[in-house]
Structure 1
């Protein structure tokens, strides 16, 4: 240890960014980088000679130990080597930076570097760290700010993906990570940011052709205005949505609103957004622009909502502010003075092209010999960012001259694309077509098929859809597409996930339609997910439940596309079977209302349905609404479903239908408890006979509920204990959470509040880990009763406020609730603690879900301290 405290702290314990560079020659750049870091609310850690009364080497080593990110800036000088040292402080800082520390490296262009600095840069390259060139302090600041934002977004997404597919405030889908620097759009970004910061502006639409960079710019602008939207930012990718009527559902899904069939999505959206100051980013609106009236209704109903949309055309709504995005600035060769590297690098299209080339060929340099070819490439591609990226991807093996020759030839042959498209749209389609002509035949066929995937896809899915391509090696073809920037790859945990940009996917789908086996390939896409459902049906009931719910949430758009295809082609039996296999996922992730609509479509088809298909469709259209009009509609329907399952020998199906039938009988205007008991006893026997432990646990819980309704609390407790034991043996977190919640209420009714608290806390912990919003709300409400019973008025109010807000934000406010906290709350409201309770209720409504869970799980000593303060 050095004689001074190594625990060097930075303001507010923010993430620390260590900046390594020589001092004097890069002084302007260091100031610019410091400002960029601080704009992101990070803490710059910068060693300035004489800034501290400690030996310089000890000082920068201590700084490095306390830093989170390494930023290296290099120009011409290698730096001073102290007497007795072998390397300069500049190299020593790089060596000492921990291997796992993220490293961003920037190299100044157009300077003659000292030999030892060249050696250091070569070592950095060998270490697998790519670096970016910059020309001046302003450009460097923009690069650093964008790269840090991207790095932070990726780290955040990775951490969140370990527990859930949603990572935003209160379950909203957050902005995707930007994978590349935003170049040449400073004025447009500032314009959009300025509009979004104006409270009088409610709708901003960024327009332009495909591939022009609308999505990339919108993400950057949204990130810059985060502080203006305390209610959060939600990202809605509408590229997979082809029916305008589905837009409200896509928005609800992005907001974490659960469609469990207990009300319209319009009502739920209004409730979730009514008092929320938030930004909704709607990406790729052009194909569903007919949904504009629904977007207008949202803006009318939610005065705190602002919408940022990207579209090829305006939405034509009152109050809309359009920002048209054109191509990047093109070089203008000077015939009098010839070409110039420095002049070329002042043009955004050239800067972007060179930047993307260096992503695949880090040692690429713009020189007097190649600058004219690069300028001509940018002009030929009309400065369209995606076209430039696709061309740059080929620079790994082609020189600019070779690239230009092939590009000119192909664009001439293609004639600029379809004549009914706008000029810039023809340019991007032509460039995509040119890029595909450089692929092998198997890769071209694979690309057309990959367009079937709505959203991302895995290698396994790509291999499935590639079946039958002659001489195909899927991994090789996929690598070829990634190398050509036609497919993008991201890592999610231990899996690689691939995706296509909207413009490339549309091109792929157009190509697919020209193939004679297009219909069979659409079938094959759906079959992949049907097969997936069959594989994971029982995984969703056991120890891997949490993992698979997260994985399936990532596949949400593909699952919907598969169901839609099955319904559109009249494959009723397969659609019903698919819905049944993923029952637990639809339930936990809040999509049973959507499933009900699909199954109603099956029943309304007029087709002759087999017994199993009809039983399944009847179950899904009735069971999720057992509390609605049970006498005339639900009881007969659920009885028919159970009977049809019985005829087919489907014991688990019959047993599950009987559970819902029992609940409907109990909810009737004249409850039929004996018949409900009989149905549940039969259900339990069927589940046990089938060896279905998941269903057994559900039946036991329901039997316990019936016992509670008849005031036989001890019998109920015994049933809940049985259910809990079965769920634990199965490794079923959902079943365990449900059993614990019910057990908690039984203990409350017995006056055992300490035991009840433990049950509710365990249930809440499991539900939060699954991101099961309904279970979290139940847990908070159970603990509300415990705190109220213990006289903890403030804590009770805070927990109930958080639960109420969660139910409103996620669309669960109308769902039937197995919770008795109201009677405890009524006692508080009738007493002297009413005012304190109401104040705490308001504070609880401001809590994020994770913060509310943490508050609820505070132990006794923390609660005591909180009650004092």
Structure 2
């Protein structure tokens, strides 16, 4: 039987087609097997490869369709039928076929070989006795023949899996659009693109699932299709009459694979569905009771696959199918969930020290690989109020999330956990878990600009620490007193912040808590800098950096470099400041810490602005803005607004400056960020000086210059703007008074700069 003509476009398989052709042309690889789960697109890929290869061979390609047979003895007859040979005697059938092929140059394409895998030796005999024959096979299971070259077929590239391609050029999106337009010609592609991308990501680029999902476009909006798929797989059932019965639904395909398994294999496969984002062999053994032969069998049948680095993964739709099988046995699912929770909570707890010092980067990447499993285990522990497990995992989990800068996720995670344990009966285990959860909740509330919530969390945690006679855990920012210090620093209460920090430093020395020694020194350096004590600031910051280096701590090193960079800015050493911020950026990139990546970039942008390298500054601020927007970090976003405002003022873009400064002042006041508020007042003063009159600008300058919470970068801008022989006088009044004054100035400026403001908004 000749290869059927193409009836639809094949999307995104150019690399695979090139590999198949290359190996079919290699005399040592005359057998190529395309292996993968049902619905992954093996047949479409193989048909196209067979057409292309057959067109270049003397006798073309032959298609042998095995989908309707399940006895390996029938393969010879099906092959003979495809070759149009009349078999005279079953005992000599293979000899007749071999004789027929001996003088030919042809490709034999066997489709759906997994149903007759025992017939694999037949292909070996054909290749041995027919030197002009090559074979192409699709199967869910490898043939295990010497000449076999295996290509593992995966889903099509999706927007998430192929970031180099834009949304409209990745294969999964193209396939969906092609199929959806056939049933709904008026589909608005651009408008629906985010939902189409989501659909393709949910099904992990599985072509059959994409086609079935697209077939619903005539009845449902793309957003509805995506929502339905997130709930269950029932939507992935086709009513198209020309679709083969075995491809009418995703579950029908998976049931075919399940029919090939032993009872033990079925049980293990169902248990493996508990894993999210892949798993290691050790996890499979411990959690699901798997062994190496069972894992090998499931891999052979394409239900799981080796993902590299000792990990396995399951296609999400296959995993959901397995989860449905597991759910049919309530006792078994309970045991598996408990095993999974225990395994990954212990996994976190064991990495507490290496995550904190010495092997932080490697450990963070190790946890990242298991992030979905860790999240699932954590949620199970919270839902079941497992206080000892939460107490052992809270600190390393919080530290890991901080390294990755996932503050929005952390806020929800620890807020929910705190509420759960606050509602529990008070006992030592529950109280210990709550004390540690509150520390993390305070940390991330502080980072998100929720200062009152952070204050409450630290106060409650301190009370519990005292009642339990608990010492601070080993880690960064684990002392409630340190939390108070950061809160006071943020609110502009510099002397109170110094007092809290000195207490932390004294206790840290007594307990040899070197991480808190480093953090306390870094914060004291920051506070000294705000007081204009540059030598003291440098000494504290260098002590913090040295302490981190001695312990092998790497992540906090970046923040020490940030402070040293700020000292260099205060002294006007822009090249040295750039070097420190660059080192900070490089360290944070190792950790994939998007928060400090954004901070280092905005600091570099501020230095570039002061050095009048305005194009460099604009690009750095834009890069930082992207990082903070992704994080949902309000404080970081305000810092970018500050940098953009200063850049706009410096370059005379008054309309843009007004826009940035109005938003910055509102955000800084709302979040109680005194230094940021003063920074906004300085830039507003500069804008007023340029657009209205000198005296109004000086009113703001004098207040900002004299205030104890004014940070080094703001002071550096003041020095650049105010002439040395015209130092501003310190006026009377509070911060609130000057905020009101600045708002009044902005209201006047808005009337005077209407056209420039309109132009900046339009851009």
**TM-score when normalising by structure 2:** 0.59
Show the counterpart of 1:447.
269
Matches within 5 A, 1:286-685: 286=228, 312-313=234-235, 325-326=238-239, 329=242, 349=244, 381=246, 383-384=248-249, 387-388=252-253, 428=255, 431=256, 434-435=259-260, 438-441=261-264, 443-467=265-289, 474-485=291-302, 487-492=303-308, 494-499=309-314, 501-502=316-317, 505-514=320-329, 516-589=331-404, 590=406, 591-610=409-428, 611-626=431-446, 634-635=454-455, 637-645=457-465, 647-652=468-473, 655-668=478-491, 671-685=492-506
1:726 aligns with 2:547: yes
Deviations 1:441-479 (A, max 9, x none): 3x3332232232234222121111135xxxxx6112222
Structure 1, residues 608-629: CA drift from partner, whole Å, max 9, x if none? Answer: 2424223113223333223789
CA contact (8 A) 1:572 1:613 kept: yes
The 1:537/1:117 distance shift into structure 2, 3 A limit, reads farther
- Work out the CA distance in 2 between the residues paired with 1:575 and 1:651: 16
> 1:752 maps to which residue?
573
Shift of 1:689: 4.8
Question: Please, which of 610, 614, 634 is the counterpart of residue 793 of structure 1?
Answer: 614
2:623 is equivalent to residue 802 of structure 1: yes
Give CA deviations for 1:656-696 in whole Å, capped at 9, x if unaligned. 3221121123334xx54444323323323444555544444
Cα displacement (A) at 1:825: 5.6
Cα distance 1:284–1:221, how it changes in 2: closer, same or farther (>3 A)? closer
Shift of the 632–151 alpha-carbon distance from structure 1 to 2, 3 Å rule, reads: closer
Tell me if structure 1 keeps the 8 A contact 2:156–2:205.
no
Query: 1:355-404, CA deviations, whole angstroms, 9 ceiling, x for partnerless residues?
Result: xxxxxxxxxxxxxxxxxxxxxxxx5x46546644x5xxxxxxxxxxxxxx
Alignment partner of 1:198 is 2:189: yes
Query: Given the alignment, which residue of 216, 228, 231 partners 2:207?
Result: 216
**Cα displacement (A) at 1:133:** 6.0
Cα distance in structure 1, aligned partners of 2:157 and 2:203: 23
- Could you tell me whether the CA contact under 8 Å between 2:238 and 2:248 is conserved in 1? no
SS at structure 1 position matched to 2:473: helix
SS of aligned partner of 1:651 = coil
Distance in 1 (CA, whole Å) between partners of 2:186 and 2:359 is 46
Distance in 2 between the 1:765 and 1:131 partners? Answer: 51
Structure 1 residue 532: Cα displacement: 0.6
Q: In structure 2, the residue corresponding to 1:608 is in which secondary structure?
A: coil
1:463-501 per-residue CA deviation (whole Å, 9 max, x = no partner) reads 11135xxxxx6112222222233x321424x22222254
Distance 1:40 1:781, change over 3 A: farther
Residue 21 (structure 2) pairs with residue 72 (structure 1) = yes
Distance in 2 (CA, whole Å) between partners of 1:456 and 1:807 is 29
1:18-43, Cα deviation, whole Å (9 max, x unpaired): xxxxxxxx9x99xx9xx989x88999
SS in 2 for 1:497: strand
Structure 2: runs of 5+ lacking an equivalent: 31-44, 55-60, 63-82, 84-99, 109-122, 129-133, 139-150, 215-220, 661-763
The Cα shift of 1:735 comes to 1.3
Deviation at 1:744, TM superposition (A): 1.0
| Distance in 1 (alpha carbons) for counterparts of 2:325 and 2:258 | 11
Q: Who is 2:712 aligned against?
A: none
Q: Does 1:738 align with 2:559?
A: yes
- More helix, by proportion: 2
**Corresponding residue of 2:179:** 188
Distance 1:727 1:459, change over 3 A: same
1:761/1:286 CA distance change after superposition, 3 Å: same
Return 5+ residue gaps in structure 1 as ranges.
1-25, 45-68, 76-89, 96-102, 135-146, 158-165, 224-278, 290-309, 314-322, 331-348, 350-378, 391-427, 468-472, 842-869
Q: 1:580 to 1:201 in 2, by over 3 A?
A: closer
Q: Counterparts of 1:329 and 1:449 in 2: how far apart (Å)?
A: 36
1:386-434 Cα deviation digits (max 9, x unpaired): 644x5xxxxxxxxxxxxxxxxxxxxxxxxxxxxxxxxxxxxx4xx4653
1:752, CA displacement in angstroms?
A: 0.9
Aligned-partner Cα distance in 2 for 1:203–1:666: 42
- Aligned to 2:274, the other structure's residue is in SS state coil
CA contact (8 A) 2:257 2:301 kept: no
Cα distance between partner residues in 1 of 2:600 and 2:126: 51
> Deviation at 1:198?
3.1
Q: State the 1:534 CA deviation.
A: 0.9
Instruction: Go from structure 1 to structure 2 and tell me whether the alpha carbon gap of 1:386 and 1:752 turns closer, same or farther (over 3 Å shift).
Output: same
| Counterpart for residue 247 of structure 1 | none
Q: Is the 8 A contact 1:785 1:821 kept in 2?
A: no
CA distance in 2, matches of 1:780, 1:804: 9
Q: What's the offset of the Cα at 1:784?
A: 0.9
Distance 1:832 1:525, change over 3 A: closer
Distance 1:562 1:715 in 2: 46
Q: Is the alpha carbon distance of 1:835 and 1:628 closer, same or farther for their aligned partners in structure 2, counting shifts above 3 Å?
A: closer
Per the alignment, in what secondary structure is the counterpart of residue 259 of structure 2?
helix
- The answer as to whether partners of 1:666 and 1:676 remain within 8 angstroms in 2 is yes
CA change 1:556–1:216 in 2 (3 A) is farther
Q: Contact 1:193/1:222 (CA < 8 Å) preserved in 2? A: no
- The structural deviation recorded for 1:748 is 0.6
Instruction: Kindly indicate whether the alpha-carbon contact (under 8 Å) linking 1:595 and 1:620 is maintained by their aligned counterparts in 2.
Output: no
Residues 597, 152 of structure 1: alpha-carbon distance in 2 compared, 3 angstrom cutoff? same
What's the CA shift for 1:758? 0.6
Alignment pair present for 1:716 and 2:533: no
Report the secondary structure of 1:452's partner residue. coil
Partners of 1:174 and 1:770 in 2: how far apart? 31
Shift of 1:196: 6.5
1:218-237 to structure 2, matched below 5 A, reads none
RMSD (Å) for aligned C-alpha atoms: 5.3
In 2: Cα distance, 1:282 partner to 1:565 partner: 29
Query: Aligned partners of 1:758, 1:730: CA distance in 2, in Å?
Result: 23
1:337-369 deviation line (CA, Å, top 9, x unaligned): xxxxxxxxxxxx4xxxxxxxxxxxxxxxxxxxx
Deviations 1:163-204, CA, capped at 9 Å, x for gaps: xxx97479x9999999xx99xx99736648977663455686
Task: Judge conservation of contact 1:705–1:716 (CA < 8 Å) in 2.
Answer: yes
> TM-score, normalised to structure 1's length?
0.52
Q: Which structure's CA Rg is the greater one?
A: 2
The residue matched to 1:491 in structure 2 has which SS? strand
Question: What do residues 247-304 of structure 1 show as CA deviations (whole Å, max 9, x unaligned)?
Answer: xxxxxxxxxxxxxxxxxxxxxxxxxxxxxxxx99999743765xxxxxxxxxxxxxxx
